[in-house]
């Protein structure tokens, strides 16, 4: 075991998710903030837009870390990487677009030894070859952003918050997507989330021009007692963002999305929903929104998420992975 791991983080400085200026700063807080806080790591940052010469690292590092397995966040070329003996660890983006974005060739181009992200490994290997190595590391909660949350009792109680991408409800659009774009539409990836929008007691905040209509997502969440986290194929950060914000979270957990690995328990840390029961679960809450059990579940979910899914806990998992590789 290495006492202090020397990490070279190589990235594109104009990668939107690492600038701290994007509406989604999940990646920024993990790589640019949490890594530096860990006492077991000595991280040095190497911004490079197009090419980075690995020889600059000399013998001063134990491994290389890159933000993604594509040249969106990683320099177009890592000169000398083929000759380097340094292990390379990469965060991996959305698994399902591996073919569309041509990600597989970058495995050899960047000589990646190990991948990680918060999705379940079964979903990774649905799209990537079995010979590649992957570990689930759930990150995303920057603790300081989730302090001083408004009281559950002082939040909006008679409606349920829904947010994020959804399918177009217009019949013409649905038919067109089913024929021309069957596995890329909001109906495909967010089927239950989309269906929830037809309910009169659901308040929906979506996206416009690649940005949320509400600039401060945490502030939006803390206006509501309840929130929906529903994705068809894999849980997203919305699951633990919502709970960490103190919302009673109606959470889609199914065999299809493999969400049980997160560890949320029905009626203990969240309310588990699916296509068959979601309206029943919603009405159970709305019929008695002041029942103290809802606040108890919300608070338990908040505590669970802050303890399990904080960026500092995730970096510890990454450190263990690094030690195993070294």
pLDDT, average across residues 67-85 = 94
pLDDT, average across residues 266-289 = 98
Q: Which of 306, 322, 323, 319 is nearest to 35 (CA)?
A: 319
Residue with tokens 């203990």: 268
Q: Do domains 5-140+310-325 and 143-308 have the same CATH topology?
A: yes
| pLDDT recorded at residue 178 | 60
CB 271 within 8 A of CB 297: yes
Mean pLDDT taken over the chain? 91
Q: For residue 113, how many other CB atoms are within 10 A of its CB?
A: 16
99 pLDDT above the threshold of 80: no
| pLDDT recorded at residue 175 | 58
Q: Does domain 5-140+310-325 fall into CATH 1.10.3210?
A: no
143-308: what fold?
Rossmann fold (3.40.50)
The CA distance from 133 to 129, in Å, is 9
The domains of the chain are located at: 5-140+310-325, 143-308
pLDDT, average across residues 118-144 = 95
pLDDT in tens, 33-62: 999 999 999 999 999 999 999 999 998 999
pLDDT in tens, 250-277: 999 999 999 999 999 999 999 999 999 9
pTM for the full predicted model: 0.90
The encoded tokens of residue 39 equal 């006492």
| pLDDT recorded at residue 216 | 80
| pLDDT recorded at residue 101 | 75
Q: Report which of residues 274 and 212 the model is more confident about.
A: 274
CB 204 within 8 A of CB 134: no
């Amino acid at each position: 075991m290495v006492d202090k791991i020397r990490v070279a983080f190589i990235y594109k400085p104009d990668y939107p998710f690492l600038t701290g200026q994007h509406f989604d700063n999940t990646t920024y807080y993990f790589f640019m903030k949490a890594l530096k806080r860990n006492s077991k790591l000595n991280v040095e940052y190497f911004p490079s837009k197009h090419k980075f010469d690995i020889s600059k690292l000399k013998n001063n590092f134990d491994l290389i870390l890159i933000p993604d397995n594509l040249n969106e966040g990683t320099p177009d070329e890592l000169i000398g990487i083929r000759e380097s003996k340094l292990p390379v660890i990469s965060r991996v983006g959305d698994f399902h677009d591996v073919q569309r974005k041509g990600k597989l060739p970058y495995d050899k181009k960047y000589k990646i030894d190990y991948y990680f992200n918060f999705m379940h490994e079964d979903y990774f290997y649905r799209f990537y070859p079995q010979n590649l190595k992957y570990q689930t590391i759930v990150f995303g909660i920057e603790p300081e952003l989730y302090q001083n949350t408004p009281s559950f009792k002082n939040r909006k109680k008679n409606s349920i918050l829904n947010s994020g991408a959804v399918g177009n409800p217009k019949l013409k659009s649905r038919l067109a997507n089913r024929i021309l774009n069957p596995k890329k539409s909001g109906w495909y990836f967010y089927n239950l989330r989309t269906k929830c929008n037809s309910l009169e007691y659901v308040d929906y905040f979506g996206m416009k021009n690649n940005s949320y209509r509400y600039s401060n997502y945490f502030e939006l969440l803390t206006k509501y007692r309840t929130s929906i986290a529903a994705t068809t194929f894999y849980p997203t950060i919305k699951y633990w963002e919502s709970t960490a914000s103190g919302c009673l979270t109606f959470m889609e957990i199914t065999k299809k999305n493999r969400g049980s690995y997160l560890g949320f328990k029905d009626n203990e840390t969240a309310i588990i929903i699916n296509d068959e029961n979601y309206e029943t679960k919603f009405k159970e809450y709305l019929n008695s929104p002041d029942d103290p059990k809802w606040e108890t579940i919300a608070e338990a979910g908040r505590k669970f998420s802050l303890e399990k899914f904080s960026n500092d806990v995730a970096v510890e998992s990454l450190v263990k992975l690094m030690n195993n590789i070294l």
